[in-house]
C-alpha cells in the first residue's frame, strides 16, 4: 500500500482536525451509511480527540464515484488512506458492516507496522460466524460450496419491495426515505451494494490481531445476538472485552454519550476529552 496525504483523501471526513499529537478515532459506517452518519456521535468525544469517519465511494461528496462491492478492494483502499495516521494514538470503531471493514483494515495496518490501540466492533457478528442472510460460517476451515438453494438467504438478492421492508425492520433508515420514490431509487442500490459486499465476504486466513478488541452488542438488536457479537474474542491475541447497551441495532443513535464515554474510558483518553 502507498501512503497518501490523509488531509486530502476523499476516504476520510474529519470532523475536528487536530495536530498529530492528538489521539485519533476513525469510524466506519454501516451498510448504506456514510461519514455524515457519525456527525452527532463525533461531537460526544470532546474537543481534544481527532474524530474522523471513513467515506465509502458512491455517497455524499463521493456520490459520483463507482460503488465498491468487494471487501478486499474496499479494505485495501481504506487502509491506504489511513497509513498517514501512523505515529498517532489511533483507535478504530466500526458499526455493523463497518465492524467487518474495520477488522480488515486493522489487519492491513498491522501488516504495515501501524499500531492500533483498540478495535471496537459494534452490532455485528465476527467474520468466522454466520449472521442473518449468511448461508454459512466464514472461516479457513469451512468447505462450503454456494448453490442456488442458498440464494433465498442472501438479502442483496431480494426484490426492491422486500429489500426495503427489511430495511424498515432493521431501523436506521428513515421511513420517509423509503416511502419517497426518488429517494428510494437513490438509496436502495447503495445499500444493496453493501449487503452484497458483506454477504460475499470470505476472510482470508491469517494470524489473530495483536490489537485489543472490544465487542459491543445491543440488548434489543434483532439482527445479531449478544452471544454472536461476543464471538469477536476469537479474532484477537490481545485484550478482549464485551459490552452490552440497551436499545436496538442503532443503539448508538439513542445513547451516543454512553458509547463515547465507554470508548474513551477503555482507551484512557478521558483526559483528552475534557
Question: Which residues are part of the catalytic machinery?
Answer: 96
How far apart are the C-alpha atoms of 262 and 274, rounded to whole Å? Answer: 14
Contacts for 245 with CB less than 8 Å, ≥ 6 apart: 216, 217, 218, 219, 251, 255, 258, 259
Closest CA to 233 of 125, 105, 109: 125
Task: Return the CA Rg of the chain.
Answer: 18
Beta strands (DSSP E) in the chain are 12-14, 24-28, 50-54, 90-95, 118-122, 212-218, 240-245
Burial 203-219 (b: 16+ CB within 10 A, else e): beeeeebebbbbbbbbe
Amino acid at each position: 500500500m502507498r501512503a497518501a496525504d490523509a488531509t486530502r483523501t476523499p476516504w476520510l471526513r474529519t470532523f475536528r482536525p487536530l495536530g498529530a499529537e492528538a489521539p485519533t478515532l476513525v469510524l466506519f459506517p454501516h451498510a448504506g451509511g456514510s461519514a455524515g452518519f457519525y456527525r452527532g456521535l463525533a461531537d460526544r468525544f470532546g474537543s481534544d480527540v481527532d474524530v474522523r469517519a471513513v467515506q465509502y465511494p458512491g455517497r455524499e461528496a463521493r456520490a459520483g464515484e463507482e460503488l465498491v462491492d468487494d471487501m478486499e478492494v474496499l479494505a485495501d483502499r481504506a487502509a491506504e488512506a489511513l497509513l498517514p495516521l501512523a505515529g498517532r494514538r489511533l483507535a478504530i470503531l466500526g458499526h455493523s458492516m463497518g465492524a467487518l471493514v474495520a477488522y480488515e483494515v486493522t489487519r492491513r495496518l498491522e501488516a504495515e507496522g501501524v499500531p492500533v490501540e483498540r478495535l471496537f466492533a459494534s452490532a455485528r457478528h465476527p467474520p468466522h460466524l454466520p449472521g442473518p442472510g449468511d448461508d454459512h460460517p466464514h472461516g479457513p476451515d469451512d468447505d462450503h460450496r454456494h448453490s442456488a438453494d442458498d440464494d433465498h438467504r442472501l438479502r442483496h438478492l431480494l426484490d426492491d419491495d422486500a429489500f426495503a421492508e427489511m430495511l424498515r425492520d432493521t431501523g436506521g433508515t428513515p421511513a420517509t426515505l423509503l416511502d419517497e420514490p426518488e429517494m428510494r431509487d437513490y438509496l436502495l442500490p447503495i445499500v444493496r451494494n453493501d449487503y452484497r459486499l458483506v454477504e460475499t465476504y470470505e476472510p482470508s486466513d491469517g494470524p489473530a490481531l495483536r490489537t485489543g478488541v472490544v465487542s459491543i452488542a445491543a440488548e434489543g438488536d434483532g439482527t445479531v445476538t449478544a452471544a454472536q457479537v461476543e464471538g469477536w474474542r476469537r479474532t484477537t491475541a490481545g485484550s478482549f472485552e464485551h459490552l452490552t447497551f440497551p436499545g436496538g441495532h442503532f443503539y448508538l443513535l439513542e445513547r451516543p454519550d454512553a458509547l463515547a464515554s465507554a470508548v474513551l474510558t477503555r482507551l484512557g483518553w478521558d483526559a483528552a476529552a475534557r
